[in-house]
Amino acid sequence: MQSEEVKEGRERIKEFDRNINNDNNKEPWYKGPIKIILGLFLLLIIIMMVIPYYSIKEDPEPRMNIGLDEINEFIAVNASKSVDGFDKIKEIYDKNDAQIKFAANMIVSRSCNNENTVCYAKALYYFVRDEIKYVSDPLGKEYIESPKIVLKTGTADCESGSLLLLNMMENIGVDGEIVLIPGHAFIRIKLDKALGKYKYDDWIYLDWTCGSCSFGEIAYGNMDKEMRFLEI
């Protein structure tokens, strides 16, 4: 009877040892599928943090909180001068006009937190698009007003408004050209730091008269028309 009890005790000990060994051979919870799930979760968090940071850095958006009235306080116009064609444009266009430079600097400094040319260019485009009212020339006439006249009156036809936008762009160091198509005008600029989604043939086309167009967008069909480019 005693030997049976001893034998049974030994079997229980062996069974206990086997259970311990089985437990020791099991893979820890942190080395199994949970490890993979945690790794993917952490990777997702990193991606969500990094992508917005670089998107904001490379493609910043201005905060537009400046109006035409604030700009006009500092713009003085001695005479209401206009010309009747781009061949006379130099009579009214000063690439380095101090007042236009002041206006451009005021707009970008109020709209952009950092010194980023992409943000600056967007701010100037949105300002002209939203603050200058499009008014066509009288039938049969073609007048081009100076950029200061456009700021003072708050109105312009496509050529005059484009001249203002180009003038302000050049005053923040962005080169551009007037784009002429049949019956219309807008501008294009060179901005190497801008994302490729804004560019066409390495240029960014901007039509301030298109109220629904974002930065780099042109009204449907205009890109297919014959273009002439005017560097001033």
What is the residue-wise DSSP string for 157-182? -HHHHHHHHHHHHHHTT--EEEEEET
- Model confidence at 55, pLDDT cuts 50, 70, 90, reads very low
Query: How far apart, in whole angstroms, are the C-alpha atoms of residue 169 and residue 166?
Result: 5
pLDDT: is 29 or 197 the higher one?
A: 197
**219 and 146 within one domain:** yes
Q: Which positions ≥6 away from 127 have C-beta within 8 Å?
A: 64, 66, 107, 111
Residue 59 within any structural domain of the chain: no
Count structural domains, the chain: 2
Is pLDDT at 127 greater than 70 in this prediction? yes
**122 and 11 within one domain:** no
Point out the domain boundary residue: 31, 53, 75. Answer: 53
Residue range(s) defining the domain that contains residue 144:
65-230
**191 and 89 within one domain:** yes
Answering whether pTM is above 0.85, one says no
Q: Which of 10-14, 82-86, 110-114, 123-127 has the lowest mean pLDDT?
A: 10-14
Q: Helix, strand, or coil here: 116?
A: coil
Q: Tokens 């042109």 belong to which residue? A: 218
pLDDT at 28: 59
**83 and 177 within one domain:** yes
Number of alpha helices (DSSP H) and beta strands (DSSP E) in the chain: 7, 8
Q: Which of 163, 185, 172 is nearest to 229 (CA)?
A: 185
Amino acid at 80: S
pLDDT at 147: 94
- Report whether 175 contacts 159 (CB < 8 A): no
**104 and 42 within one domain:** no
Is pLDDT at 185 greater than 50 in this prediction? yes
- Report whether 93 contacts 166 (CB < 8 A): no
**98 and 71 within one domain:** yes
pLDDT at 53: 41
